[in-house]
Chains A and B, each alone.
Chain A
Amino acid sequence: EAQVTQNPRYLITVTGKKLTVTCSQNMNHEYMSWYRQDPGLGLRQIYYSMNVEVTDKGDVPEGYKVSRKEKRNFPLILESPSPNQTSLYFCATRDAGANVLTFGAGSRLTVL
């Protein structure tokens, strides 16, 4: 089954404690992306990756890092989380042929 798997699904942490949200896909897609979703703002792109070793900033990259060392994984790193990073995070992959985004189930992060 085609899947985009995110972990953890829920996390409560404290300001400044580094954390990583993992994203893994089994569809062999080149393109992967991270979005955050906040009420009234829709989905805003944080970072995206066109292929392995190539990443670029989206619209709201401040406070986040990513890496793409292999095709299937695209972790999102918060080096020093702050309360304004409390949000619902989605990882997505993109099928180059159909141009369709497939989203993971989401990771709800709370920073106290």
Chain B
Amino acid sequence: QQPVQSPQAVILREGEDAVINCSSSKALYSVHWYRQKHGEAPVFLMILLKGGEQKGHEKISASFNEKKQQSSLYLTASQLSYSGTYFCGTEGSYDKVIFGPGTSLSVIP
């Protein structure tokens, strides 16, 4: 089942912070976060594993609440380069990463 992402879209000014949420109705093994710029392929940002291990991007952080099957991506001091669509991918078993519908983020000067 596809995870739910919120908000659907957000507009920020440079330097502002944003939080993107992802929730699933199923128990999760891991949560992935990817960013896609217009006309390009999705690019890996972060993976959060059950048990608390986290691997990813230097300037972006995330949390994973295993009990609630929820994850949040935190973008602080946003830059113009942060613009794009953010996808969370949830994984209940190793072989299937199911992506959410995406959150469009626009950073303006």
Interface residues of A (CB under 8 A from B): 31, 35, 40-45, 48, 50, 56, 58-59, 90, 98-106
Contacts and interface: CB of A to CB of B under 8 A. Distances in A.
Given A42-B100, A101-B97, A106-B40, 6 more contacts: A35-B99, A45-B97, A59-B98, A99-B47, A100-B44, A104-B41
Given A42-B87, A43-B87, A102 B99 contact: no
B99 A42 contact: yes
B41 A105 contact: yes
Contacts, number: 50
6 contacts: A43-B99, A45-B96, A50-B95, A59-B98, A100-B32, A101-B32
Contacts of A100: 32, 44, 47
A105 B49 CA distance: 27
Interface of B: 2, 30, 32, 34, 40-44, 47, 49, 55, 87, 89, 95-102
Contacts of B99: 35, 42-44
A41 B55 contact: no
B76 to A, nearest CB: 23
Contacts of B55: 98
Contact of A90 (B32, B42, B96, B102): B42
A106 B42 CA distance: 10
A66 to B, nearest CB: 14
Contacts of B89: 43, 101
Nearest to B101: A42
